[in-house]
Amino acid sequence: FEDVVEGSHFSMRVIEDTALDASFWKDFRETTELVSEGNGTRVTLSQTDRYRGVAFLVFRYFAMRRELSKLQRWARTGQYRKGGWFEHPLSQVGFAALSALILWPFFGLHFGGLALAAILTSVVALHELGHMAAFRLMGHNRARMIFIPLLGGIAIGGRPYDSRFEVAFVALMGAGFSAFLVPIAIAASSFASAEGHRLAAMLLAALAGFAALFNIANLVPVWKFDGGQ
Protein backbone atom coordinates (compact mmCIF):
# COMPACT_ATOMS: atom_id res chain seq x y z
CA PHE A 1 0.00 0.00 0.00
CA GLU A 2 2.98 2.34 -0.43
CA ASP A 3 1.27 4.20 -3.27
CA VAL A 4 -1.89 4.82 -1.20
CA VAL A 5 -1.68 8.26 0.40
CA GLU A 6 -3.90 9.68 3.12
CA GLY A 7 -7.35 10.67 1.91
CA SER A 8 -7.27 8.19 -0.98
CA HIS A 9 -8.15 4.53 -1.39
CA PHE A 10 -6.92 1.44 -3.16
CA SER A 11 -9.38 -0.89 -4.89
CA MET A 12 -8.65 -4.37 -6.24
CA ARG A 13 -10.55 -6.79 -8.43
CA VAL A 14 -9.45 -10.22 -9.69
CA ILE A 15 -9.55 -10.41 -13.49
CA GLU A 16 -7.61 -13.64 -14.05
CA ASP A 17 -6.90 -16.77 -12.01
CA THR A 18 -4.72 -19.73 -12.96
CA ALA A 19 -7.02 -22.15 -11.10
CA LEU A 20 -10.55 -20.76 -10.69
CA ASP A 21 -12.81 -19.55 -13.46
CA ALA A 22 -13.08 -15.78 -13.81
CA SER A 23 -16.81 -15.97 -12.98
CA PHE A 24 -15.88 -16.97 -9.41
CA TRP A 25 -14.40 -13.50 -8.87
CA LYS A 26 -16.99 -11.57 -10.89
CA ASP A 27 -18.54 -9.83 -7.85
CA PHE A 28 -15.44 -9.72 -5.64
CA ARG A 29 -13.90 -6.38 -4.74
CA GLU A 30 -11.44 -5.40 -2.01
CA THR A 31 -10.90 -1.80 -0.93
CA THR A 32 -8.36 -0.15 1.37
CA GLU A 33 -8.95 3.42 2.51
CA LEU A 34 -6.62 5.69 4.51
CA VAL A 35 -8.09 8.63 6.44
CA SER A 36 -6.14 11.06 8.62
CA GLU A 37 -7.44 10.97 12.19
CA GLY A 38 -5.71 13.06 14.87
CA ASN A 39 -2.05 12.13 15.08
CA GLY A 40 -2.57 8.89 13.20
CA THR A 41 -4.18 7.33 10.17
CA ARG A 42 -7.31 5.20 10.20
CA VAL A 43 -7.13 2.22 7.82
CA THR A 44 -10.43 0.78 6.58
CA LEU A 45 -10.47 -2.55 4.76
CA SER A 46 -13.58 -3.85 3.02
CA GLN A 47 -14.46 -6.86 0.89
CA THR A 48 -17.57 -7.20 -1.23
CA ASP A 49 -18.71 -10.38 -2.95
CA ARG A 50 -21.79 -12.39 -3.86
CA TYR A 51 -21.75 -15.01 -1.13
CA ARG A 52 -23.07 -18.34 -2.31
CA GLY A 53 -23.91 -19.82 1.07
CA VAL A 54 -23.65 -18.88 4.74
CA ALA A 55 -20.48 -20.92 5.37
CA PHE A 56 -18.41 -18.89 2.89
CA LEU A 57 -19.73 -15.62 4.32
CA VAL A 58 -18.77 -16.73 7.86
CA PHE A 59 -15.33 -17.80 6.62
CA ARG A 60 -14.71 -14.42 4.92
CA TYR A 61 -15.88 -12.58 8.05
CA PHE A 62 -13.46 -14.37 10.36
CA ALA A 63 -10.66 -14.19 7.79
CA MET A 64 -11.02 -10.39 7.72
CA ARG A 65 -11.18 -10.21 11.52
CA ARG A 66 -7.95 -12.21 11.63
CA GLU A 67 -6.29 -9.94 9.07
CA LEU A 68 -7.32 -6.78 10.94
CA SER A 69 -6.23 -8.19 14.30
CA LYS A 70 -2.77 -8.99 12.94
CA LEU A 71 -2.52 -5.59 11.26
CA GLN A 72 -3.47 -3.87 14.52
CA ARG A 73 -0.88 -5.87 16.47
CA TRP A 74 1.80 -5.03 13.90
CA ALA A 75 0.90 -1.31 14.01
CA ARG A 76 1.14 -1.23 17.81
CA THR A 77 4.16 -3.48 18.42
CA GLY A 78 5.90 -3.90 15.08
CA GLN A 79 5.61 -7.68 15.48
CA TYR A 80 3.75 -10.25 13.39
CA ARG A 81 2.35 -13.39 14.99
CA LYS A 82 1.21 -16.39 12.97
CA GLY A 83 -2.05 -18.22 13.61
CA GLY A 84 -4.95 -17.18 15.83
CA TRP A 85 -7.31 -18.52 18.46
CA PHE A 86 -10.07 -19.32 15.94
CA GLU A 87 -7.96 -21.84 14.03
CA HIS A 88 -6.08 -23.18 17.06
CA PRO A 89 -6.46 -27.01 17.29
CA LEU A 90 -8.17 -26.76 20.69
CA SER A 91 -10.66 -24.23 19.31
CA GLN A 92 -11.42 -26.50 16.36
CA VAL A 93 -12.00 -29.48 18.68
CA GLY A 94 -14.37 -27.28 20.67
CA PHE A 95 -16.25 -26.22 17.52
CA ALA A 96 -16.55 -29.87 16.46
CA ALA A 97 -18.00 -30.78 19.87
CA LEU A 98 -20.40 -27.83 19.64
CA SER A 99 -21.48 -28.98 16.18
CA ALA A 100 -22.23 -32.46 17.51
CA LEU A 101 -24.30 -30.99 20.36
CA ILE A 102 -26.27 -28.82 17.92
CA LEU A 103 -26.99 -31.88 15.75
CA TRP A 104 -27.97 -34.04 18.74
CA PRO A 105 -31.69 -32.98 18.92
CA PHE A 106 -32.15 -33.84 15.22
CA PHE A 107 -31.33 -37.49 15.97
CA GLY A 108 -33.17 -37.67 19.30
CA LEU A 109 -32.14 -36.56 22.79
CA HIS A 110 -30.83 -39.95 23.91
CA PHE A 111 -27.51 -41.80 23.77
CA GLY A 112 -28.18 -43.15 20.29
CA GLY A 113 -28.89 -39.65 18.98
CA LEU A 114 -25.70 -38.29 20.53
CA ALA A 115 -23.71 -41.15 19.00
CA LEU A 116 -25.15 -40.46 15.54
CA ALA A 117 -24.42 -36.71 15.87
CA ALA A 118 -20.83 -37.49 16.89
CA ILE A 119 -20.44 -39.93 13.97
CA LEU A 120 -21.72 -37.38 11.43
CA THR A 121 -19.36 -34.73 12.85
CA SER A 122 -16.47 -37.21 12.60
CA VAL A 123 -17.36 -37.94 8.96
CA VAL A 124 -17.20 -34.21 8.17
CA ALA A 125 -13.81 -33.95 9.92
CA LEU A 126 -12.43 -36.97 8.02
CA HIS A 127 -13.67 -35.47 4.76
CA GLU A 128 -11.78 -32.24 5.44
CA LEU A 129 -8.68 -34.23 6.47
CA GLY A 130 -8.79 -35.75 2.98
CA HIS A 131 -8.61 -32.26 1.48
CA MET A 132 -5.72 -31.38 3.82
CA ALA A 133 -3.82 -34.54 2.79
CA ALA A 134 -4.35 -33.59 -0.86
CA PHE A 135 -2.93 -30.12 -0.22
CA ARG A 136 0.21 -31.66 1.27
CA LEU A 137 0.53 -34.11 -1.64
CA MET A 138 0.37 -31.18 -4.06
CA GLY A 139 3.32 -29.52 -2.33
CA HIS A 140 1.70 -27.16 0.16
CA ASN A 141 4.00 -26.59 3.13
CA ARG A 142 1.06 -26.39 5.48
CA ALA A 143 -2.70 -26.89 5.47
CA ARG A 144 -5.35 -26.16 8.05
CA MET A 145 -9.02 -26.83 8.69
CA ILE A 146 -11.63 -24.34 9.84
CA PHE A 147 -14.60 -26.11 11.47
CA ILE A 148 -17.84 -24.11 11.40
CA PRO A 149 -20.47 -25.61 13.74
CA LEU A 150 -23.43 -27.13 11.90
CA LEU A 151 -22.31 -25.71 8.53
CA GLY A 152 -19.35 -28.09 8.08
CA GLY A 153 -15.67 -27.38 7.58
CA ILE A 154 -13.28 -25.70 5.17
CA ALA A 155 -9.78 -27.01 4.39
CA ILE A 156 -7.29 -24.29 3.45
CA GLY A 157 -3.93 -24.76 1.76
CA GLY A 158 -0.73 -22.86 2.34
CA ARG A 159 -0.69 -21.09 -1.03
CA PRO A 160 -2.97 -20.38 -4.03
CA TYR A 161 -3.75 -23.22 -6.43
CA ASP A 162 -1.25 -23.74 -9.23
CA SER A 163 -3.61 -25.28 -11.78
CA ARG A 164 -7.14 -26.49 -12.36
CA PHE A 165 -5.87 -30.05 -12.00
CA GLU A 166 -4.84 -29.18 -8.46
CA VAL A 167 -8.31 -27.73 -7.78
CA ALA A 168 -9.96 -30.94 -9.01
CA PHE A 169 -7.54 -33.25 -7.16
CA VAL A 170 -7.97 -31.45 -3.84
CA ALA A 171 -11.76 -31.34 -4.28
CA LEU A 172 -12.07 -35.05 -5.08
CA MET A 173 -9.71 -36.22 -2.34
CA GLY A 174 -12.21 -35.20 0.35
CA ALA A 175 -14.54 -37.99 -0.76
CA GLY A 176 -11.67 -40.18 -1.98
CA PHE A 177 -9.97 -40.24 1.42
CA SER A 178 -13.23 -41.09 3.20
CA ALA A 179 -14.06 -43.79 0.65
CA PHE A 180 -11.33 -46.01 2.10
CA LEU A 181 -13.14 -45.88 5.44
CA VAL A 182 -16.45 -47.27 4.13
CA PRO A 183 -15.42 -50.89 3.30
CA ILE A 184 -13.33 -51.04 6.49
CA ALA A 185 -16.29 -49.90 8.59
CA ILE A 186 -18.61 -52.38 6.82
CA ALA A 187 -16.20 -55.26 7.42
CA ALA A 188 -15.72 -54.24 11.05
CA SER A 189 -19.49 -54.02 11.54
CA SER A 190 -19.98 -57.52 10.12
CA PHE A 191 -17.21 -58.88 12.36
CA ALA A 192 -18.66 -57.19 15.47
CA SER A 193 -22.12 -58.53 14.65
CA ALA A 194 -20.76 -62.06 14.24
CA GLU A 195 -19.03 -61.77 17.63
CA GLY A 196 -22.27 -60.66 19.28
CA HIS A 197 -21.33 -57.02 19.81
CA ARG A 198 -24.62 -55.60 18.56
CA LEU A 199 -24.12 -51.97 19.66
CA ALA A 200 -20.65 -51.74 18.13
CA ALA A 201 -21.95 -53.30 14.91
CA MET A 202 -24.76 -50.75 14.69
CA LEU A 203 -22.43 -47.79 15.31
CA LEU A 204 -19.94 -49.02 12.70
CA ALA A 205 -22.77 -49.56 10.21
CA ALA A 206 -23.96 -45.98 10.89
CA LEU A 207 -20.42 -44.72 10.32
CA ALA A 208 -20.23 -46.51 6.97
CA GLY A 209 -23.67 -45.25 5.94
CA PHE A 210 -23.00 -41.64 6.91
CA ALA A 211 -19.59 -41.67 5.20
CA ALA A 212 -21.02 -43.12 1.98
CA LEU A 213 -24.07 -40.83 1.79
CA PHE A 214 -22.22 -37.65 2.80
CA ASN A 215 -19.46 -38.11 0.26
CA ILE A 216 -21.75 -39.21 -2.57
CA ALA A 217 -23.89 -36.12 -1.96
CA ASN A 218 -20.75 -33.96 -1.88
CA LEU A 219 -19.76 -35.19 -5.33
CA VAL A 220 -22.98 -33.97 -6.94
CA PRO A 221 -21.88 -31.49 -9.66
CA VAL A 222 -23.51 -28.38 -8.24
CA TRP A 223 -22.00 -25.05 -7.15
CA LYS A 224 -19.87 -25.08 -3.95
CA PHE A 225 -19.96 -28.87 -3.65
CA ASP A 226 -16.70 -30.65 -4.37
CA GLY A 227 -18.27 -32.25 -7.43
CA GLY A 228 -19.02 -28.79 -8.83
CA GLN A 229 -15.35 -27.90 -8.84
Instruction: Determine the pLDDT at residue 4.
Output: 55
Q: Determine the straight-line distance between the first and last CA of the chain, rounded to whole angstroms.
A: 33
Can you tell me the distance from the alpha carbon of 119 to that of 203, in angstroms, rounded to the nearest whole number?
A: 8
Instruction: Determine the pLDDT at residue 155.
Output: 85
Coil vs helix vs strand at 127: helix
Question: Are the C-beta atoms of residues 178 and 165 closer than 8 Å to each other?
Answer: no
Instruction: Determine the pLDDT at residue 188.
Output: 94
Residues of the chain with pLDDT under 50: none
Instruction: Determine the pLDDT at residue 193.
Output: 93
Instruction: Determine the pLDDT at residue 153.
Output: 80
Q: Which residues pair with 42 in a beta bridge?
A: 35
pTM: 0.71
The residues spanned by each domain of the chain are 9-77, 89-228
Buried b (16+ CB within 10 A) or exposed e, 112-126: eebbbbbbbbbbbbb
The upper half-sphere exposure of residue 66, i.e. CA atoms within 13 Å in the direction of its Cβ, equals 15
